[in-house]
Amino acid sequence: MAKVKIFIDFWNLQLSWNEYHAKHGASGTIRIPWENRLAQILIAKVGADSVYAGTHVYASINPKSPDDRGLRSFLQIMDTFTGYKVMVKERKPAKPIKCNNDGCRKEILQCPHCSKELIRTVEKGVDTSIAIELFHYALDNIYDKAVLVSGDEDFVPAVEYIQRRGNQIIHAGFKNKAFTLRKACWAHINLEDIMADLLSP
């Protein structure tokens, strides 16, 4: 029996998911089946001998954005799903946009079209948290195999090291994305191949 833990980069998955469904003509929002179904199907794809060891989700929110209040509430609910642990980081202010013209370089504070304030933030600490926990749980023998749901190729060195010590990292993502990360991992789960199962009632 192989203990399998799932590690999900929330925004990486959510944005790729939205892009996939927009390309395939979705007229509205198609929800990711976070509770039960997503983990069940990923574990089944890993192999019949798989034992579910939990799902970790890593997300970020902008604490100053009214739009992120609902997301924060949803992530808190997700943290109560069986086997789920959700880590939420606050996004940090990014450097302001500046005019590129020589001699100007003034900050652009408002949208030139709608005049609303431009709020730029960057995600800090999410990738580091994923890499640390991939290491931590591997070294503590919490998992034999991990499913990494992300397209971030910065994980390649961590994946290669962890696999040298005997654990297997299985990448899950969309077709034609994150080729370098996929190549570094033991195997790959194409989310497009299991989309019908993910969306079935």
106/137: higher pLDDT: 137
Q: Does the pLDDT of residue 11 top 70, yes or no?
A: yes
Residue 117: what pLDDT?
64
Mean pLDDT of 97-120: 71
Structural tokens at position 50: 């798989």
Class of domain 2-199: alpha beta
Assign 118 a pLDDT band (cuts: 50, 70, 90).
low
Q: Does the pLDDT of residue 172 top 70, yes or no?
A: yes
DSSP-based three-state secondary structure for 9 = strand
30/109: higher pLDDT: 30
For residues 188 and 45, the answer to whether their CB atoms sit within 8 Å is: no
Domain boundaries, the chain: 2-199
Q: Between the CA of residue 34 and those of 31, 48, 82, 151, what are the distances in Å? A: 8, 21, 11, 18
For residues 118 and 110, the answer to whether their CB atoms sit within 8 Å is: yes
Q: Does the pLDDT of residue 69 top 90, yes or no?
A: no
Residue 67: what pLDDT?
80
Structural tokens at position 76: 């808190």
Mean pLDDT of 90-110: 70
Interhelix angle 126-139/156-164, rounded to 10 degrees, is 0
User: The whole model's pTM is what?
Assistant: 0.85
